[in-house]
Amino acid sequence: MENQKYQVGVLFGGRSSEHEVSLMSARSVLSALDLEKYNIVQIGITHDGNWFAGENVLDSMAAGQTNHLLPITLLPNPTHKGLFTFRDGHYQHYADIDVYFPVLHGTYGEDGTLQGLFEMAEVAYVGAGVVGAAVGMDKAIFKDIMIANEIPVVDGIVVLKFQLETEMETILDMVEKFSPYPIFTKPANMGSSVGVMKCRSRSDLYEGLIEASRFDRRVLIERGINAREIEISVLGNDTPQASIPGEVNPEADFYSYNAKYHDGLSQLYIPAPIPSETAEQMRYLAIKAYQAIDCAGMARVDFLLDQDSGEFYVNEVNTLPGFTEISMYPKLWDASGLPYPQLIDRLIELALARRIERNQIELRYQ
């Protein structure tokens, strides 16, 4: 990366219910990018899916004022590189981009859909590829892959939205046979604890199932445990490294959306106050889980440590973790000796290296 100033497209916003979280993360990333090394192109995506560029896109998006911005698009055509705008019935080139840095949480950002567009366009981008992003986002399929790789996870079952609409009482009976309360209900595809509820009764369970089904057609139901939440940051492509563990104490029943971004009461302990042997086992499993879903670039691996049994479980691999000033992912790397600006540099290096590797794959068979 020496002696070359890269053009970096930072994407934020998006069509997910985590839109506002994305804006917070993007503000931190933009402030950390070294302008001596990078030219920055801000790319805002609205709730409706419109892409915009121009001056002060982030501030304009946060204020809900996009009329003065320029509509743009990324074409899924590798022969037309860069960003384009549509004028006078024709696509016109707007900007070249060397690497895209998606700071998009949730659906249409970290679930493999955007990554598929990047792959079609044959561009370099930060983070996991299509498979890693999709599996990391889908909590139910992720759980199956962990089980196949003998990585411990909390027991769970999946129900479909149409089943809740047609046979709710049967589902409630089944879940109560599956696990005692408390029980967690979650959208299978969502992050930042959006749509997650801790249920202590049948009426709670009913409400939790309805709430989760607002955000996905598949709902994951998990046995509740008396857990501590331990998180580990992972960085790398084929030879990833794991940070020291950190612990989240949400001062609430669980690490909800409100606890993460609004109430300000959550406490982070870095390093996590756990035995060194447990920490090393978790770091080993964090890398194993990361590689099992073919992740790349970065991820935060979250564990649940059962306070009653001492057992621990992989809860999820978050392939585009929060990058706000209070987010655990950059904090853990900072505590492990890699400050925020150097972390951003490393992620861009990994994205460019991944693109070079993909370019070496044969696309024709003769």
Q: For 271-292, write each residue's pLDDT tens digit.
A: 999 999 999 999 999 999 999 9
**What is the three-class DSSP state of 355?**
helix
- CATH topology classification for 136-153+225-356: D-amino Acid Aminotransferase; Chain A, domain 1 (3.30.470)
Write down the domain spans for the chain.
Answer: 6-125, 136-153+225-356, 156-223
pLDDT at 265: 63
* pLDDT-based confidence at residue 29 (cuts at 50, 70, 90): very high
Tell me the mean pLDDT in the region 182-210. Answer: 90
Strands 197-199 and 218-223: unpaired
**How far is residue 232 from each of residues 77, 212, 229, measured CA to CA in Å?**
37, 26, 10
The residues with which 138 forms a beta bridge, in sequence order, are 189
The CATH code for residues 156-223 is 3.30.1490.20
**What is the three-class DSSP state of 209?**
helix
Per CATH, domain 6-125 is 3.40.50.20: yes
The residues with which 362 forms a beta bridge, in sequence order, are none
Measured between alpha carbons, how far apart are the two ends of the chain, in Å? 36
Strands 83-87 and 73-74: antiparallel
**Interatomic CA distance for residues 242 and 335, integer angstroms:** 12
Evaluated on CA atoms 17, 18, 19, 20, the torsion sign reads positive
Mean pLDDT of all residues belonging to the chain: 92
Chain mean position to CA 196: 16
pLDDT in tens, 39-63: 999 999 999 999 999 999 999 999 9
pLDDT at 343: 96
Indicate the pTM of the whole model.
Answer: 0.91
